[in-house]
Amino acid sequence: MKAIRIARTRAGLTQKKLAELVDRDQSEISRIEAGKTALTVPLLLRMAKVLKVPPGKLLDETRDKAA
């Protein structure tokens, strides 16, 4: 999911660091960002908290295209 990658890079985090902060594997973060793995609600909420963005922003692929 492009929105997650954008939020992660804006937060200055690598996939590895985000994975550590949400207690996941870096490869899982990579698959989620690529759209190859579904994002669960609990993980979405943890990622939003770590990235300090509303959960909906991580799901909104159109919002970042205009930015």
The residues, any chain, with a CB within 8 Å of residue 3's CB and separated by 6 or more, are: 57, 58, 59, 60, 61, 63, 64
| Residue spans of the chain under pLDDT 70 | 61-67
**pLDDT confidence of residue 66:** 42
**pLDDT confidence of residue 67:** 44
**pLDDT confidence of residue 5:** 96
**pLDDT confidence of residue 61:** 65
- Decide yes or no: CATH 3.40.630.30 for domain 2-66: no
**pLDDT confidence of residue 62:** 55
15: how many CB neighbours lie within 10 A of its CB? 20
**Confidence (pTM):** 0.84
Residue 9, amino acid = T
